[in-house]
Amino acid sequence: MGPDTRRCLALRKAMETELRRSMKGLHLPGHPRPYFLSYLLKIVDGYSVWGRYGSIFHEEPYREVECNTQLRVGSYRFDQTYDGNLGKDMSDRDSTNWVEGPKDLDPSALRYCLWRLTQLKYEEALQDYYEKRKILVEQHLDQQGASFSREAPHRHDEEIRDFRLPRARLRETVRGVSDLFRRKRRLIDPYVRIQSARIIRVFVNSEGSRFLTEDRFFELSLRAWILSPEGGYLDTGRWFHARSLSDLPSRSRAAAAVEDIARELEILAKARPMDPYAGPAYLSGNAAGLIFHEALGHRLEGDRLLSRDEGRTFAGKCGQRILPPGTGMIDDPSLSSWNGSKLFGHYRIDDEGVPAQPAVLVKNGILQGFLQGRTPIPGSRRSNGHGRTERHHDPMARMANLIVTSTEGREEEELLEEFGRLIQDAGLQHGLIVSRVSGGETRTDRYDFQAFKGTPTEAWLYDPRKESMERVRDLQFIGTPLAVIQRILAFGKEVDVDHSFCWAESGSVPVSTIAPAILVSELEVQRASKRNYRRPILRMPPLRRGSTPGRRSSYSTEPDPRVERGGRPPKV
């Protein structure tokens, strides 16, 4: 049974009592006092179940209780933070061992955890404060102005109801969908997984802000592998994200996804590995969104402007053109849905107690501003509600719902015509089309290459002379952020909505990216590293349907045309 509003309010009362006691009495003579203190309690009630071939392989209900504490010494003008707080390795600190709270949610035990954690946080804050003073003896830090923004106190409470997850129904979903893979004997290790998380946040700070919120996240994952002729493992999958249980796909949609995975893997096994390539590219589906997320989004997180270790790609570029005319970028966590799709990155108030607000990043191709938490940056002293964190990490500005728009969007046929001309003008036989990627990463620090990469799982070579497409595999696209965004030539009219989890210095947070297809004059592709394995010595044993006593699958294998494919090839 999960906590309800009454239990959460009792926990918050205990947090407020301990906060007042700490602010009044936590002082080491001769050293700075705390001027700010906040407690963020996250109660995560989760459930994960996965299986293969109609059987459950693993099932785990779990509860995580996290006590995130921010304690600052000195003043709003000058405290212990520097380098945007990005240089700290919080995992090595003593306070990290006291982040876990009582799973039975006992208020007295919670006060004990907060007392112990706050003492350690105060000692660490003093050490950082004097370390910052020592650095300033010989160096000039890039942070100018205040160390912490002053924000008006905000109060927000939501009703928390007890939520009982229908685990038996989810188990049967996993059994039923995974059972459909029995007939796909060429596929290797297919699995189906359902994950759910109910996250309750209880927050108080010394400025008078407090909030109580609840969010729910659900994910249905289907994934399988196949061996290529040379022995490499090729994989693909379908991921369905939802903010309510009723929004998970129907049985027919899940069955269609199984058929879709099987067809795609058979095509991949026959596809040829991609040779290194540099030339025009057409990016649609979540591939276009990944470009903006990795190449631009992370570099527009305001905290990075203050770190000596960061490349600070767009520092001092407000008011300058960074994208084609007519292009807009906004990150709006207050937006709950887009064209009927519930957004994974939606929230009402951030992890620092600031209401979620739209942050206008680019307007008409010109850089307007940055994502901000409560760390002031040059030219902006206020948070725009993007401070986010996980577990023991300090909050920092992070993406939520990143939305890319263009007033110059073109129809797909028009983009393909332009794409064909670019290929011929470059003297190439083929151009590259990418419509789905499995993930990406980027480096933003100045001591490494300023680059990003993505791993396409759905890519084609397009021959404009024959108007033909050939599926390719085993590739990664790479690039430097400025080079890629300056080579964007055109946008499509239709947009794709992608949901995922994003990792950065403040942990993992749910995000959504909404972006149209893009045409770039040049994208570089390299061969992905692969290892080749021997095939199994024996064939797979027979997989008889209905071998589990007392159970029959009620799933249909009729394909559903509404299945979410994540990406699709352009029409040729």
| Residue 565 within any structural domain of the chain | no
Helical residues (DSSP H) of 271-325, grouped into ranges: 286-291
Domain that holds residue 184: 169-202+215-271
Residue 396, H or E segment: strand 396-397
Distance (Å, rounded) from C-alpha 196 to C-alpha 247?
12
| Residue 533 within any structural domain of the chain | no
CATH code where residue 179 lies: 3.30.160
482 and 365 both lie in a single domain:
yes
247 and 331 both lie in a single domain:
no
What is the chain's pLDDT, residue by residue, as a tens digit (572 residues)? Answer: 578 999 999 999 999 999 999 999 999 999 999 999 999 999 999 999 999 999 999 999 999 999 999 999 999 999 999 988 887 777 888 999 999 999 999 999 999 999 999 999 999 999 999 999 998 888 877 666 799 999 999 999 999 988 889 999 999 999 999 999 999 999 999 999 999 999 999 999 999 999 999 999 999 999 999 999 999 999 999 999 999 999 999 989 999 999 999 999 999 999 999 999 999 999 998 899 988 998 899 999 999 999 888 888 899 999 999 999 999 999 999 999 998 889 999 999 999 999 999 999 999 999 999 999 999 999 899 999 999 999 889 999 999 999 999 999 999 999 999 999 999 999 999 999 999 888 766 666 555 556 677 888 899 999 999 989 999 999 988 877 778 889 999 999 999 999 999 999 999 999 999 999 999 999 998 888 778 888 888 988 988 765 454 444 444 333 333 333 344 556 55
| Residue 445 within any structural domain of the chain | yes
| Residue 85 within any structural domain of the chain | yes
Q: What single DSSP character describes residue 164?
A: -
Distance (Å, rounded) from C-alpha 275 to C-alpha 284?
21
| Residue 388 within any structural domain of the chain | yes
pTM given for the model: 0.91
358 and 457 both lie in a single domain:
yes
Phi, psi of 323 (to 5 degrees): -135, 165
The SS3 assignment for 134 reads helix
Last residue of a domain, one of 225, 256, 271: 271
320 and 263 both lie in a single domain:
no
| Residue 219 within any structural domain of the chain | yes
141 and 281 both lie in a single domain:
no
Amino acid at 398: R
335 and 237 both lie in a single domain:
no
Q: How many CB atoms lie within 10 A of CB 178?
A: 26
264 and 287 both lie in a single domain:
no
| Residue 556 within any structural domain of the chain | no
Distance (Å, rounded) from C-alpha 419 to C-alpha 521?
9
Q: Give the model's pLDDT for residue 529.
A: 76
- Alpha-carbon dihedral 316, 320, 321, 327, rounded to 10 degrees: 90
146 and 182 both lie in a single domain:
no
Phi, psi of 193 (to 5 degrees): -135, 140
223 and 252 both lie in a single domain:
yes
- Could you give the number of structural domains in the chain? 3
284 and 264 both lie in a single domain:
no
359 and 474 both lie in a single domain:
yes
Helix 5-25, helix 107-138: angle, nearest 10: 40
CB 224 within 8 A of CB 234: no
371 and 467 both lie in a single domain:
yes
CB 241 within 8 A of CB 219: yes
DSSP-assigned states of every residue in 332-347:
-TT--EETTEEPTT--
| Residue 299 within any structural domain of the chain | yes
Helical residues (DSSP H) of 208-365, grouped into ranges: 251-270, 286-291
